[in-house]
Structure 1
Amino acid sequence: MPRTKKRSSNKGGQHGHVQPFSDEDASIETLSHCSSLSDVVSVADEGAEVSEDTAQEDFQYKLKGFIDSTVDKSAKTRQSALDGLKTAMANRILYEFISERRMTITDSIERCLKKGKGDEQRAAASLACLLCIQLGSGIESEEVLKTLKPIFKNILADTSAHIQARQAVATSLGLCTLVAEDDILDVFSTMECFENLFARSYAKGDGTFPSVNPQMSQLHTNALLSWALLLTICSGSQLKEVLRKHVHKLPGLLESDDVNMRIAAGETIALLFELARDMDADFEIDNYNDLCDKLSALATDCNKHRAKTDKRKQRSVFRDVLKAVEDGDFQSETIRFGTERMTIDSWVRKRTYDAFREFVGSGMNYHLQANEFIRDVFELGPPILVDSETMKAMKISRFERHLHNSAAFKARTKARSKFRDKRVDVGEF
């Protein structure tokens, strides 16, 4: 990316339009395997080093312009700035740059969530999640969530709020909570917010189902998926309570007219069975045969009123869900990134992987290689692209922060998982 010969003295926030973040900008990541660890880069050719420094300076200059423009008077400019920051965070590791500007970015997200409309709120909610992914599990992301969680919950509960904003918040709050929430009781409280939404698609007392329009059904689906994500970090006692309340009602969602809701419900049921059987291998539910019949019908669905693409997608998912419920099997998948590979070998890991991939998109493989937090989540160890000399050359204060965040995540995971190391009697449901 060539350096401009002359820069305007005006900041990005004073321009009427912000250039969108392009693939060319994102491709700067190829200049360094791990940009967050590239303060000292060993380059044999001095000219190449100068060129890289120039590109990095231009890249950061553009990011600063985006940050400034998140407070522009123009809603279009603000949204463009939010989208630019989202693309950058999805495609690169920007820990130090973001850490130094965390409060400013958080304030901008808060302002856009409160004062923006529709698409702007949706972009701000997604940016909040990417901010937490960049910061990792530690005090910095906890402060971000502490600021934004009340706003997220207000939007979720506000029936007059824009439906797209509520949909985005339902997804973002789930992953932000997974990354940054430091109290498992608060996790459970957030799960109850999601329950209050998707439970509105449950069958009524007389056995009939409520009429839910497609936009509202998508909100309920997003809430269900975030709820399922947080199930993966619940304690045994909390999981037992979840099973008592929901294991008989969730199968009703399999009859939804919305293919996305049917699939989300099926995958959540498979996840619940996996978690319950981790605690009690003999876990059973009433009406087990009826559930298997429903899953089998969806795995071989020939309903002429449904689109072919929906039926094809649904059949593939429900074949796997049926195997999970009947036999406890999981169709494993191998993810390759760089010289490494990772196996998705459980519904817990699948739900977690899908949640991160939804935000970083095509940058997922890069984050698996270079993002220390995401590598901790999937137990991949330190980034192998960082050589010992680079590690030694890192700023010790920043390195210590990384270690602290890593230790915080591991300690939190251990505390959440301790109940699963022992068999817990979940009884019959």
Structure 2
Amino acid sequence: SWGEESTSTSTHGNRGHHGNVQPFSDEDASIETLSHCSSFSDTTSVADEGGEASEDTAQEDFQYKLKGFIDSTVDKSAKTRQGALDGLKTAMATRILYEFISERRMTITDSIERCLKKGKGEEQRAAASLACLLCIQLGSGIESEEVFKTLKPIFKNILADGSANIQARQAVATSLGLCTLVAEDDILVSSTMECFENLFTRSYARMDGTCPSINPQTSQLHTNSLLSWALLLTICTPNQLKDILCKHLPKLPRLLESEDVNMRIAAGETIALLFELARDVDSDFEFDDWDALCDKLNALATDCNKHRAKTDKRKQRSVFRDILKAVEEGDFQSEAIRFGTERMTIDSWVRKRTYDAFREFVGSGMNYHLQANEFIRDVFELGPPMLVDSATMKAMKISRFERHLHNSAAFKARTKARSKFRDKRVDVGEF
């Protein structure tokens, strides 16, 4: 997690925001938003009461509400559109809806495109997040590629437009990173990374040690851009990585001077990630300014600066102790994630950055997606879904598997980026 500001955006649409959402129209006040989505995410309780017939009714009611949300994304009222986007976000974060979404993906994509182009800040933010959840639901293949092909130019325009709403740009910076990871051809990743570089490099401390004057909202935009850039590092080829290390690793420590604690932490974790990736492809990797970098990291791990808030210092010291160990010793503080009857170990900076990126969008639904979402399970090498509840079984009809087989040629071998060692067939030479 990246502090309070980042956390609030990551759970946007999963907590309390829907209480203010209006019904779809004055004529139909009976359709509510998914402000209490938990009632939909556990259909087994319905089954206990009335058996399969009751469950079918609940499923139909749920889909009816989703269709209402989709229709309302084109409503004249901005408040209604916002409510519809948030309702769809909540549903996609807490349920596997592949069949339903796959049949309507172009309609949903058109709505997202319209809201990004014509909406204001909060609506654009919700639309950008919904685009990510749509890709997460569809997984890595032709369907998500087509969604992203439509939305990528709009994302890039908003991100580069200094006059665009800052909240929209912050959201797009995060969404563009994950959508690229899910849906983009790996060869094209570098051009998107350059878009992020154009932003976060503006936060670099100057050569004389002074920091540029940046307001908190812009700093958050730069931080989100850096985190998305770091996410895409995890799918770079060894040759791309070699160029990035030469170009960016000497300069990234300048972000450690930032006044913003979230930027300092993001920069530190990105540096740790780069060291891990570099050592994966060359165990003898050495960095020219290693001593100076370790001194800087140690200072942040023991920060006693009186001008900084106590909570910021406490959070920073804890993280930078781990970052310092990573740079000095190649260590990572492993963490076990339990979901259902399974557990997964976050045992590398690559896996941590990837896990944090997905959790940013699905929030409290992360454990459910780890159990039931085929794509996310593939990313973390968890094997086929083990979750066997009736709602999930119904979502995984045979037609879904047929479609997966039909599109298998277009599916990318994502696991190469998640393995501890990079593709050894590529001769990267010495760094």
Fold in common (TM above 0.5): yes
Aligned residues of 1:253 and 1:265 also touching (Cα < 8 A): yes
Deviation of 1:397 after TM superposition, in Å, equals 2.5
Aligned residues of 2:73 and 2:82 also touching (Cα < 8 A): yes
Length-normalised TM-score, structure 1 = 0.88
Deviation of 1:282 after TM superposition, in Å, equals 1.1
Alignment correspondent of 1:172: 175
Alignment correspondent of 2:73: 70
Corresponding letter in the other structure for 2:88 = L
Instruction: Give the whole-Å Cα distance in 2 for the aligned partners of 1:47 and 1:32.
Output: 10
Aligned residues of 1:234 and 1:416 also touching (Cα < 8 A): no
Alignment of 1:24-35 (within 5 A): 25-31=37-43
Aligned residues of 1:259 and 1:314 also touching (Cα < 8 A): yes
Deviation of 1:413 after TM superposition, in Å, equals 4.2
Aligned residues of 1:175 and 1:226 also touching (Cα < 8 A): yes
Alignment correspondent of 2:371: 369
Provide the alpha-carbon RMSD of the alignment: 2.6
Aligned residues of 1:177 and 1:187 also touching (Cα < 8 A): yes
1:130-157 Cα deviation digits (max 9, x unpaired) = 0000000010000000000000000000
Deviation of 1:400 after TM superposition, in Å, equals 2.0
Length-normalised TM-score, structure 2 = 0.88
Deviation of 1:186 after TM superposition, in Å, equals 1.2
Deviation of 1:419 after TM superposition, in Å, equals 5.5
Aligned residues of 2:337 and 2:345 also touching (Cα < 8 A): yes
Question: Is residue 430 of structure 2 the alignment partner of residue 420 of structure 1?
Answer: no
SS at 1:147 equivalent: helix
Aligned residues of 1:93 and 1:370 also touching (Cα < 8 A): yes
Deviation of 1:15 after TM superposition, in Å, equals 5.4
Instruction: Give the whole-Å Cα distance in 1 for the aligned partners of 2:150 and 2:236.
Output: 23
Corresponding letter in the other structure for 1:360 = V
SS at 1:22 equivalent: coil
Alignment correspondent of 1:151: 154
Alignment of 1:227-238 (within 5 A): 227-238=229-240
Alignment correspondent of 1:19: 32
Alignment of 1:62-101 (within 5 A): 62-101=65-104
Instruction: Give the whole-Å Cα distance in 2 for the aligned partners of 1:120 and 1:355.
Output: 21
Corresponding letter in the other structure for 1:115 = K
Aligned pair in 2 of structure 1 residues 415, 22: CA closer, same or farther (>3 Å)? closer
Instruction: Give the whole-Å Cα distance in 2 for the aligned partners of 1:345 and 1:225.
Output: 19
Alignment of 1:32-51 (within 5 A): 47-51=50-54
Aligned residues of 2:205 and 2:258 also touching (Cα < 8 A): no
Alignment correspondent of 2:339: 337
1:191-232 Cα deviation digits (max 9, x unpaired) = 010001101111335553321111110000000000000000
SS at 1:79 equivalent: helix
Instruction: Give the whole-Å Cα distance in 1 for the aligned partners of 2:183 and 2:138.
Output: 9
Deviation of 1:411 after TM superposition, in Å, equals 2.6
SS at 1:220 equivalent: helix
Number of aligned residue pairs: give it: 406
Deviation of 1:256 after TM superposition, in Å, equals 0.3
Match of residue 218, structure 1, among 199, 213, 220: 220
Deviation of 1:351 after TM superposition, in Å, equals 0.2
In structure 1, stretches of 5+ residues that fail to align are 1-10, 34-40
Instruction: Give the whole-Å Cα distance in 2 for the aligned partners of 1:74 and 1:391.
Output: 37
Aligned residues of 1:136 and 1:179 also touching (Cα < 8 A): yes
Alignment correspondent of 1:5: none
How much identity, in percent, do the aligned residues show? 82
Instruction: Give the whole-Å Cα distance in 1 for the aligned partners of 2:394 and 2:215.
Output: 57
SS at 1:293 equivalent: helix
Deviation of 1:74 after TM superposition, in Å, equals 0.7
Alignment correspondent of 1:315: 317
Aligned residues of 1:155 and 1:169 also touching (Cα < 8 A): yes
Alignment correspondent of 1:353: 355
Corresponding letter in the other structure for 2:337 = I
Aligned pair in 2 of structure 1 residues 394, 293: CA closer, same or farther (>3 Å)? closer
Instruction: Give the whole-Å Cα distance in 1 for the aligned partners of 2:288 and 2:369.
Output: 42
Alignment correspondent of 2:108: 105
Corresponding letter in the other structure for 1:26 = S
Alignment correspondent of 1:258: 260
SS at 1:420 equivalent: coil
Deviation of 1:12 after TM superposition, in Å, equals 4.4
Question: Is residue 412 of structure 2 the alignment partner of residue 399 of structure 1?
Answer: no
SS at 2:306 equivalent: coil
Deviation of 1:26 after TM superposition, in Å, equals 3.1
Aligned residues of 2:205 and 2:257 also touching (Cα < 8 A): no
Match of residue 278, structure 2, among 276, 284, 288: 276
Aligned residues of 2:136 and 2:182 also touching (Cα < 8 A): yes
Instruction: Give the whole-Å Cα distance in 1 for the aligned partners of 2:90 and 2:272.
Output: 33
In structure 2, stretches of 5+ residues that fail to align are 1-22
Corresponding letter in the other structure for 1:58 = D
Question: Is residue 148 of structure 2 the alignment partner of residue 137 of structure 1?
Answer: no
Aligned pair in 2 of structure 1 residues 408, 333: CA closer, same or farther (>3 Å)? farther
Deviation of 1:29 after TM superposition, in Å, equals 2.3
SS at 1:305 equivalent: coil
SS at 1:356 equivalent: helix
Aligned residues of 2:96 and 2:395 also touching (Cα < 8 A): no
Match of residue 302, structure 1, among 266, 280, 304: 304
Aligned residues of 1:330 and 1:345 also touching (Cα < 8 A): yes
Aligned residues of 1:132 and 1:176 also touching (Cα < 8 A): yes
Deviation of 1:304 after TM superposition, in Å, equals 1.5
Alignment correspondent of 1:6: none
SS at 2:42 equivalent: helix
Report the more deviating stretch, 63-72 or 417-426: 417-426
Instruction: Give the whole-Å Cα distance in 1 for the aligned partners of 2:259 and 2:352.
Output: 25
Aligned pair in 2 of structure 1 residues 206, 406: CA closer, same or farther (>3 Å)? farther
